[in-house]
Amino acid sequence: MLKDIFNKISSKNQDLILSKDEQKKITESSDAQKSEKKVVFKTFRERLKRTRENFFRQMDSIFLGEREIDSDVLEELEELLVMSDIGVATVDEIFSKIKEKVKRRELSDVGALMSAIKEELLGLLEQSQNPPKWEDTDKKPYIILFVGVNGVGKTTSIAKLGSYFKNQGKRVMFVAGDTFRAAAIEQLETWAKRLEIPLIKHSSGADPSAVVFDAVESASKKDIDILIIDTAGRLHTKINLMEELKKIKRTIGKKIEDAPHDIFIVIDATTGQNGLQQVFSFRDAVGVTGILLTKLDSTAKGGIVISIIHQTHLPVRFIGLGEGVDDFQPFEPEMFVDAILGREGE
């Protein structure tokens, strides 16, 4: 009897013991993941070079001659962060905690001070980063509406996002909701062809809500997983634009309850603190559920990400790091902080 039980247990354990092959496979796949992550981080660091170098050049001059950490050093650092577009309110919050620590003599050298700043920044960035809804949803089509002013990178980001989802095996469809200019429809059409993603369009000048209405219908029929809608960033007046976006939103909601499931605002990182105002205007008019920050490769003031998250409490979903379709990444706070504050090899 006891022997039987013993046999049973050991045969069960056998199932848990992995063969050499299986062990190798697991090690290989986690190694592959790790090296992929390394490549991603390297690109990320490279593209954020301007922000990092801007920061370090000045930081080195602050710490020249290994100065002690005193109120002068803190003041200069605060100024530097503000100049990197992290924003006064955000920097104030970070430094009130840092100053406490300095007072309690917890930060004795530059290394400890930098680690503390990194930790505070990371804490801030992680506050608003909830898991994206599309990752665990039975909503189909999952509808994402893009909004933002002209030239920020909406159409390009839609192409990038479409490609991102397509690479995950999802069925994607685009909607040319920017009917204000013919060129805007053509631009999305070019991307759609290149990426082999279906596109719904009307002619230029058509009512955007009518295009969206057709697209939602078509996406439902064609078993589309993700429907991404482009919109105009400029109309004759700002009031009209907001009214038009509200109408598009209502049209979608009438067809599918609780849709659009996400409303992404696209912000150009090179516009600095101005971007914040844009988030507020669109948020107040149509509601916004997430931010896409573009052109981080073209600015030395990438600190704007921190300020935007801190002031809006909205998650930054993706960042744009160039004009190509792959110059795009989900926003990961830790990677971001490491890329802007970490020295080579750290």
Ligand X SMILES: Nc1nc2c(ncn2[C@@H]2O[C@H](COP(=O)(O)OP(=O)(O)O)[C@@H](O)[C@H]2O)c(=O)[nH]1
Contacts with Mg ion by CB under 5 A lie at 154-155, 184
In angstroms, what is the minimal distance from the CB of 95 to ligand X? 30
State the binding partner of 177 from Mg ion, ligand X, none, CB within 5 to 8 A by kind.
Answer: none
Q: How far apart are CA 320 and CA 322, in angstroms?
A: 6
Sheet holding 172-177, edge to edge: 199-200, 172-177, 226-231, 142-147, 262-268, 290-294, 316-320, 328-330
Out of Mg ion, ligand X, none, which partner does residue 259 contact, by CB within 5 to 8 A per kind?
A: none
Smallest gap from Cβ 259 to Mg ion, in A, equals 22
- Judged by beta carbon, residue 52 or residue 201, the one nearer Mg ion is 201
Report the distance separating Cα 257 and Cα 45, nearest Å.
Answer: 41
**156 scored as a contact of ligand X (CB under 6 A):** yes
**CB of residue 230 to ligand X, shortest distance in Å:** 7
For residue 55, the Cα-to-chain-centroid distance in whole angstroms is: 22
By DSSP bridging, strand 172-177 and strand 142-147 are: unpaired
Distance (Å, whole) CA 304 – CA 325? 23
Among residues 186 and 323, whose Cβ is nearest to ligand X?
323
78 binds ligand X (CB under 6 A): no
Q: Which of 322, 325, 338, 342 binds ligand X (CB under 6 A)?
A: 322
Q: Which does 51 bind (CB under 5 to 8 A by kind): ligand X, Mg ion, none?
A: none
Task: Rule CB under 6 A: choose which of 124, 141, 142, 153 binds ligand X.
Answer: 153
Q: Judge residue 61's burial from the number of C-beta atoms within 10 Å of its C-beta, 0-12 exposed, 13-18 middle, 19 or more buried.
A: exposed
151 belongs to the binding site for ligand X (CB under 6 A): yes
Q: Is 162 in the site for ligand X (CB under 6 A)?
A: no
Interface with ligand X (CB under 6 A), residue from 58, 220, 298, 311:
298
Among residues 43, 58, 128, 150, the one that binds ligand X under rule CB under 6 A:
150
Q: Does 320 bind ligand X (CB under 6 A)?
A: yes
Minimum CB separation from Mg ion for residue 248, in Å?
Answer: 15
Which positions from 17 through 56 interact with ligand X, judged by CB under 6 A?
none
294 binds, among Mg ion, ligand X, none (CB under 5 to 8 A by kind): ligand X
**What is the spatial distance between Cα 196 and Cα 6, in angstroms, rounded to a whole number?**
59
Q: Does 90 bind ligand X (CB under 6 A)?
A: no
Residue 251, strand partner residues: none
**What residue number has its CB nearest to ligand X?**
320
Cis peptide before 198 (omega within 30 of 0): no
Choosing from 109, 323, 326, 334, the residue that interacts with ligand X (CB under 6 A) is 323
Chosen from Mg ion, ligand X, none, partner binding at 270 (C-beta under 5 to 8 Å by type): none
In sequence order, what are the residues at sequence separation of 6 or more whose Cβ sits closer than 8 angstroms to the Cβ of residue 59? 77, 80
Q: Which residue from 78, 120, 244, 297 is in contact with ligand X, where contact means CB under 6 A?
A: 297
For 212, how many CA atoms within 13 A lie in the half-sphere containing its CB? 30
CA distance 337 to 118: 7
| b/e sequence 93-131, b meaning 16+ C-beta within 10 Å | ebbeebeeebeeeebeebeebbebbbebbbebbeebbee
Judged by CB under 6 A, the chain residues 192 through 251 that form the site for ligand X are: 233
Q: Residue 246 half-sphere exposure, CB side, CA atoms within 13 Å?
A: 12
117 binds, among ligand X, Mg ion, none (CB under 5 to 8 A by kind): none
Q: Of residues 295, 301, 310, 317, which one binds ligand X by CB under 6 A?
A: 295
Residue selected from 152, 199, 224, 252 as contacting ligand X according to rule CB under 6 A: 152
**Peptide bond just before 131 cis, omega within 30 deg:** no
Q: How far is CA 237 from CA 142, 240, 243, 244, in A?
A: 30, 5, 10, 11
Binding site for ligand X (CB under 6 A): 148, 150-156, 233, 266, 294-295, 297-298, 320-323, 327
